[in-house]
């Protein structure tokens, strides 16, 4: 997947954030005898300014679910303890008008993936109360908890069939042979014998894959488990971000649709060609419903009348940032239709209307992510919501919609939306008490002319209590991905408001290669890493440096992942614009990156292919722009941050950049996390990250 995800709800679907939150909890949740974390920590707020401690005190809303009768909303909130360096999640219920809000769990163990039962009176959820994540059921007031499953390795998510006679659940199964399988007399040997690619993925050595299972459900018990993949060595849902949204029950309960890329090893590493399969419960047979469609096909959802299936589809194999098209299939004829053929935007988070005549969806345009509706008959897209915001989720609730949104100035909260007028009403108010004490900086939209005379949307975030008569140090923010939009995201690490609270102006351009500005703008970055998108960065910071309130002698440049690559690249090309750099998890040596990373489709598409292909002009241009080739021009202090569990971009990339700076005599510092991956997920590590980040900037820019 992308090289630069941000830990927020600003992803293609809310479930990705939910999965990441579950991963955090699995790594950090305290033992049962620890003091329970059952509510927000109370941070000390001084002068209304954001601090790292305040940032970690926010409750993180996720997993909104509307009851079958459309009258209530179920959701979870994650809380963190800095002292304990742990996190926990709790479950809440409220009416769809926001009234009668109740926290219905109060435990030191983790609850997640909560879903309504069809009677509107019970809730199914996962809990780690017995050590591993198991399925439980309780009343909607939190009483009468009953454990349903007791599988040795637990389960990761689930869906009941429409009549609740069957349970579809996800569980990990063994993948490949262990060393001890080959040498039983070496049970403590830690070596891993590798015979093919994809032996590592994001932050794990691949020794298991998720499979969907179906079991009978009766009298609060399950039995007769069936592995839908029949022991095949494939994953469904797809790692690392896929969840239960990649599977669906048909309305009649006779079919399970699941997403799968039926490839392993080298073939898996080279391809994004996933398909949607139908598993027939009566016959036990499986059918590929998207055969011949070569890109990502995922996230199936059936219409309420059972006549249609909608899903998200990308056209090209190997291009993970391709347009997310909205496809529908007539289940009677098998005819497939690209509903979004004339809609030059992504379509994600699909939700059918009650009458099966239209679909609600999430889409980003001009760095704002809104709720849309498209009617199937005429393929007409209508934008419902407006405002400086990003929606990440939408669901039906009788005559209204329930959505989750955030902005650069506010974390996720739940809202009700009038589908006809777009009028929004906040419901959850999870963080009202903290937000009411904070002074947020102004967020301004600017359109800046690029070197090729195009207009580029750039967000400018000002410090609280901004005084235009003063001069401020200013940061150029470089986005990761490289195809991740700089929309109204809220991040718990790359948070613009905490940067502003520390006295910096932030310049965040939607440079070439970002979605939400049409496919031409998006595709221009692939095979041109050191090209126009870097000129776009310079256009943005040069334009802002002309403002009287920007101290052009105190400019910094920061970024992670592809943004980290951008920092390394600019360090050799900036012509003394900047006085400080910070690169997190960045690519430094592109030829080495080609062989170190695991998802080969990405480097093949975005870099153009292997560096040894001398006849490939695109690839050779990519590698000629590798930052390590321009270290001789480095002359500006640089902070390098990396996690040693990052298998997307190995820590050796950051170490090499740091070593190069030191050998060149350039002031440098490195922050290494032995136990973090492509992100920073633990509270105390997160605070260390922020303190190191601002200490470096303050040293060179103030």
- The CATH number assigned to the domain holding 469 equals 3.40.50.1820
Contact 487, 12 (CB under 8 A): no
Residue 617 lies in a domain: no
Residue 145 lies in a domain: yes
**Positive or negative, the Cα torsion across 132, 136, 139, 145?**
negative
Whether residue 142 is predicted with pLDDT greater than 70 in this model: the reply is yes
pLDDT-derived band at 6, boundaries 50, 70, 90: very low
Q: Check whether residue 418 and residue 529 sit in a common domain.
A: no
Q: Give the list of residues 6+ apart from residue 332 with CB closer than 8 angstroms, or none.
A: 307
Nearest to 426 by CA among 434, 438, 414, 411: 414
Q: What gap in Å lies between CA 441 and CA 450, rounded to an integer? A: 26
Q: Calculate the alpha carbon distances from 77 to 2, 58, 322, 489 in Å.
A: 26, 10, 32, 18
Burial of 229 (0-12, 13-18, 19+ CB in 10 A): buried
Return mean pLDDT, the chain.
94
Whether residue 113 is predicted with pLDDT greater than 60 in this model: the reply is yes
Domain that holds residue 508: 441-598+628-701
Residue 312 lies in a domain: yes
Whether residue 316 is predicted with pLDDT greater than 80 in this model: the reply is yes
Q: What gap in Å lies between CA 693 and CA 687, rounded to an integer? A: 10
Q: Check whether residue 294 and residue 398 sit in a common domain.
A: yes
| Helix, strand, coil percentages for the chain (3-state, nearest 5) | 20, 35, 50
pLDDT-derived band at 108, boundaries 50, 70, 90: confident
Q: Could you give phi then psi for residue 672, rounded to 5 degrees?
A: -110, 135
Residue 199 lies in a domain: yes
Q: What gap in Å lies between CA 460 and CA 464, rounded to an integer? A: 13
Q: Check whether residue 487 and residue 428 sit in a common domain.
A: no
Q: Give the list of residues 6+ apart from residue 631 with CB closer than 8 angstroms, or none.
A: 572, 660, 661, 664
CB contact burial 347-370 (16+ within 10 A = b; e otherwise): bbbbbbbeebebbbbbbbbebbbb
Residue 525 lies in a domain: yes
Q: Check whether residue 535 and residue 423 sit in a common domain.
A: no
Whether residue 471 is predicted with pLDDT greater than 60 in this model: the reply is yes
Q: Check whether residue 429 and residue 449 sit in a common domain.
A: no
Residue 636 lies in a domain: yes
CA 526 to chain centre: 21
Q: Check whether residue 423 and residue 522 sit in a common domain.
A: no
When pLDDT is averaged across residues 262-269 and rounded to a whole number, the result is 98
Q: What gap in Å lies between CA 549 and CA 467, rounded to an integer? A: 8
Q: What integer pLDDT is reported at residue 358 of this predicted model?
A: 98
* DSSP state, residue 440: P
What pLDDT, in 10s, does the model give residues 557-609? 999 999 999 999 999 999 999 999 999 999 999 999 999 999 999 999 999 99
Domain termination site, one of 374, 406, 434: 434
Q: What integer pLDDT is reported at residue 51 of this predicted model?
A: 97
pLDDT-derived band at 126, boundaries 50, 70, 90: very high
Whether residue 90 is predicted with pLDDT greater than 70 in this model: the reply is yes
Whether residue 16 is predicted with pLDDT greater than 50 in this model: the reply is no
Contact 309, 297 (CB under 8 A): no
Q: Is 654 helix (H, G, I), strand (E, B) or coil?
A: helix
Q: What integer pLDDT is reported at residue 530 of this predicted model?
A: 94
Q: Is 606 helix (H, G, I), strand (E, B) or coil?
A: helix
Q: Check whether residue 384 and residue 448 sit in a common domain.
A: no
List beta partners, residue 18: none
Contact 564, 678 (CB under 8 A): no
Q: Check whether residue 285 and residue 351 sit in a common domain.
A: yes
Supply the CATH number for residue 359's domain.
Answer: 2.120.10.30
- Report the chain's terminal Cα–Cα distance, integer Å: 37
Contact 78, 19 (CB under 8 A): no
Q: Check whether residue 492 and residue 427 sit in a common domain.
A: no
Whether residue 613 is predicted with pLDDT greater than 70 in this model: the reply is yes
- Provide the strand spans (E) within 492-647: 505-509, 550-560, 580-584, 638-643
Q: What gap in Å lies between CA 523 and CA 281, rounded to an integer? A: 42
Type and span of the H or E element at 26: helix 14-28
Q: What integer pLDDT is reported at residue 42 of this predicted model?
A: 83
Q: Which residues are catalytic?
A: 561, 646, 678
Residue 70 lies in a domain: yes
User: Beta strand pairing status for 308-313 and 134-139?
Assistant: unpaired
Q: What's the domain count of the chain?
A: 2
- Angle ∠(527,531,537) on CA atoms, nearest 5: 125
- Return the CA Rg of the chain: 25
Q: What integer pLDDT is reported at residue 41 of this predicted model?
A: 75
Residue 496 lies in a domain: yes
Contact 613, 556 (CB under 8 A): no
Q: Is 413 helix (H, G, I), strand (E, B) or coil?
A: strand
Contact 462, 22 (CB under 8 A): no
CA 365 to chain centre: 18
What pLDDT, in 10s, does the model give residues 325-337? 999 999 999 999 9
- Angle ∠(33,35,37) on CA atoms, nearest 5: 125
Q: What integer pLDDT is reported at residue 23 of this predicted model?
A: 39
Q: What gap in Å lies between CA 540 and CA 455, rounded to an integer? A: 11
What pLDDT, in 10s, does the model give residues 179-205? 999 999 999 999 999 999 999 999 999
Q: Check whether residue 480 and residue 561 sit in a common domain.
A: yes
Domain termination site, one of 396, 418, 434: 434
CA 619 to chain centre: 28
Q: Check whether residue 429 and residue 469 sit in a common domain.
A: no
Q: Check whether residue 547 and residue 424 sit in a common domain.
A: no
Domain termination site, one of 402, 434, 466: 434
């Amino acid at each position: 997947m992308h090289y630069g995800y941000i830990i927020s709800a600003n992803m293609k679907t809310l479930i990705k954030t939910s999965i990441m939150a579950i991963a955090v909890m699995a790594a950090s949740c305290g033992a049962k005898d620890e003091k329970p974390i059952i509510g927000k920590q109370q941070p000390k707020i001084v002068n209304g300014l954001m601090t790292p401690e305040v940032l970690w005190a926010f409750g993180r809303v996720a997993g909104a679910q509307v009851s079958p009768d459309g009258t209530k909303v179920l959701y979870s909130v994650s809380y963190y303890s800095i002292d304990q360096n742990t996190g926990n999640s709790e479950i809440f219920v409220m009416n769809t008008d926001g009234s009668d809000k109740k926290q219905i769990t109060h435990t030191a163990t983790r609850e997640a993936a909560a879903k309504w039962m069809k009677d509107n009176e019970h809730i199914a959820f996962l809990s780690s109360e017995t050590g591993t994540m198991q399925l439980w059921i309780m009343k909607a007031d939190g009483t009468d908890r009953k454990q349903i499953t007791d599988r040795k390795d637990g389960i990761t998510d689930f869906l009941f069939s429409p009549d609740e006679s069957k349970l579809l659940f996800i569980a990990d199964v063994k993948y490949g042979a262990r060393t001890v399988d080959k040498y039983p007399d070496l049970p403590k040997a830690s070596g891993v014998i590798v015979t093919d690619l994809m032996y590592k993925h994001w932050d794990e050595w691949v020794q298991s894959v998720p499979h969907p299972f179906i079991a009978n459900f009766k009298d609060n018990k399950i039995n007769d488990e069936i592995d839908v993949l029949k022991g095949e060595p494939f994953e469904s849902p797809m790692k690392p971000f896929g969840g239960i949204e990649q599977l669906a029950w048909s309305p009649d309960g006779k079919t399970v649709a699941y997403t799968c890329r039926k490839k392993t090893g080298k073939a898996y590493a080279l391809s994004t060609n996933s398909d949607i399969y139908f598993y027939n419960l009566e016959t036990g047979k499986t059918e590929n419903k998207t055969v011949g469609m070569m890109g990502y096909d995922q996230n199936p959802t059936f219409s309420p009348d059972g006549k249609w299936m909608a899903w998200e589809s990308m056209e090209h194999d190997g291009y993970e940032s391709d347009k997310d098209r909205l496809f529908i299939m007539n289940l009677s004829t098998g005819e497939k239709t690209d509903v979004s053929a004339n809609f030059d935007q992504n379509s994600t988070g699909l939700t059918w209307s009650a009458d099966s005549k239209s679909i609600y969806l999430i889409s980003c345009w001009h760095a704002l992510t809104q709720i849309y509706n498209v009617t199937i008959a005429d393929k007409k897209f209508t934008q419902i919501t407006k405002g400086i915001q990003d929606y990440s989720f939408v669901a039906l609730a009788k005559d209204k919609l329930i959505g989750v949104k955030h902005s650069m100035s506010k974390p996720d909260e739940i809202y009700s939306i009038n589908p006809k007028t777009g009028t929004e009403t906040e419901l959850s108010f999870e963080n009202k008490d903290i937000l009411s004490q904070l002074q947020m900086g102004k967020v301004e939209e600017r359109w800046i002319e690029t070197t090729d005379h195009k207009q580029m949307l750039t967000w400018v975030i000002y410090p609280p209590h901004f005084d235009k008569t003063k001069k401020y140090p200013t940061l150029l923010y470089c986005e990761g991905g490289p195809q991740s939009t700089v929309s109204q995201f809220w991040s718990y690490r790359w948070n613009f408001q905490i940067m502003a609270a520390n006295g910096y102006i932030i310049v965040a351009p939607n440079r070439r290669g970002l979605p939400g500005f049409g496919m031409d703008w998006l595709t221009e970055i692939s095979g041109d890493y050191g090209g126009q998108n870097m000129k776009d960065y310079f256009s943005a910071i040069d334009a802002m440096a002309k403002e009287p309130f920007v101290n052009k002698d105190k400019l910094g440049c920061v970024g992670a992942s592809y943004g980290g690559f951008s920092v390394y690249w600019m360090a050799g090309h900036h012509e003394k614009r900047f006085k400080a750099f910070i690169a997190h998890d960045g690519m430094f040596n592109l030829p080495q990156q080609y062989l170190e990373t695991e998802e080969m489709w990405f480097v093949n598409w975005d870099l153009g292919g292997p560096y040894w292909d001398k006849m490939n002009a695109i690839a050779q241009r990519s590698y000629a722009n590798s930052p390590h080739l321009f270290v001789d021009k480095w002359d500006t202090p640089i902070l390098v941050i990396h996690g040693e569990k990052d298998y997307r971009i190995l820590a050796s990339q950051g170490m090499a950049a740091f070593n190069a700076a030191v050998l060149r005599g350039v002031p440098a510092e490195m922050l290494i996390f032995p136990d973090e991956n492509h992100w920073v997920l633990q509270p105390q590590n997160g605070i260390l990250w922020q303190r190191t980040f601002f200490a470096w900037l303050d040293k060179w820019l103030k």
